[in-house]
Homo-oligomer: A and B are copies of this chain.
Amino acid sequence: MGYHRRVERKYTLVDVRPNPQATDLAGLAGRLLSELRARRPLVQNITNYVSMDIAANALLAIGAAPAMVHAPEETPQFTPIAGALVVNIGTLSAATAKAMQIAVDVAHKVGTPWLLDPVAVGPMDFRNGVVLDLMKARPAILRGNASEIIAVARLAGLTQTKATPRGTDSTNTTSEAQLFCIELARHFGCTVVATGEVDVATDGQQVVRLANGSPLMTKVTALGCSLSSVMGGFLAIAPTPLEAAIAALAVYGVAGDMAAETARHPGSFRVAFIDTLDAITPADITGRLKVIA
């Protein structure tokens, strides 16, 4: 009961537009980086406790304004003034699930674009139910690792394939997840991003694959969560969610490459990575972005 047959029955890869050129994408990412720094968008994060420090620091370093407002009493007044909302279910509880639902309903109603990071979705029923409920409020972007994306596709009834995560680790590749990204994007009308050795982003029509980044990025906790937050920063200022996703992936991947040139272990890599988010220029992206055809 593989996913290939299901996908092929509904639409083929011929439907998907060819991958844009690297120079175009690098130029896009560089322009959006400059615009983000100029506009300093306010990004609301309802995120897990592990990621709060690094997510806020990544947003500050890139040039956005983080806010960690989550209380149900406050989101009705705050989400409408935020440029984007990032919802990350890492350390989920019944209380935070409720707070997330209230915030995304507000976001959906007032038009604040929002992103869902479905951390560790798959093995636990409670978490799976929360993710399905959140998807109904129409995220602009769904971002996860390959195992998480496959798990969401299964929850949505798009496949029988079972992801095999280990905690927050993916044991699947983004190549395996790519068709699910496309299916999910079409099913929910959103942009879907699967990150890994190769990052995949698609709005259901166009697929972009980027290959920057360092293995050290998986040795710093919540660096993926902080990417979701930074992607929220781009979501606040980009013309489309797909362009926001591409810009965030490009910045993160290239910054990872650059930081890995000065740091060889995870403690100093984290420091170098935050420094690089502050220092990175559009020219760095142009010079280093690796786009896979």
Contacts and interface: CB of A to CB of B under 8 A. Distances in A.
Interface of A: 40, 42, 48-50, 52-54, 56-57, 60-61, 65-71, 73-74, 77-78, 81-82, 90-95, 99, 120, 123-127, 166-169, 218-222, 264-268, 270-276, 278-279
B69 A91 contact: yes
B73 A126 contact: yes
A124 B69 CA distance: 10
Closest 7 CB pairs of A and B: A267-B274, A265-B275, A56-B221, A67-B167, A73-B126, A267-B271, A267-B275
29 contacts: A49-B49, A49-B68, A50-B52, A50-B53, A53-B221, A60-B219, A61-B266, A61-B267, A65-B167, A65-B168, A67-B168, A68-B91, A69-B124, A69-B167, A71-B92, A71-B94, A73-B94, A74-B92, A74-B126, A77-B124, A81-B123, A93-B99, A219-B278, A264-B275, A265-B275, A265-B278, A266-B274, A267-B275, A268-B271
A49 to B, nearest CB: 5
Contacts of A267: 57, 61, 270-275, 278
A276 B125 CA distance: 38
A68 B93 CA distance: 11
A256 to B, nearest CB: 13
A237 to B, nearest CB: 14
Given A56-B222, A274-B265, A93 B71 contact: yes
A40 B40 CA distance: 40
Contacts of A69: 91, 120, 124, 167
With most chain B CB atoms within 10 A of its CB, the pick from A48, A82, A169, A267 is A267
Contacts of A123: 77-78, 81
A267 to B, nearest CB: 3
A40 B219 CA distance: 12
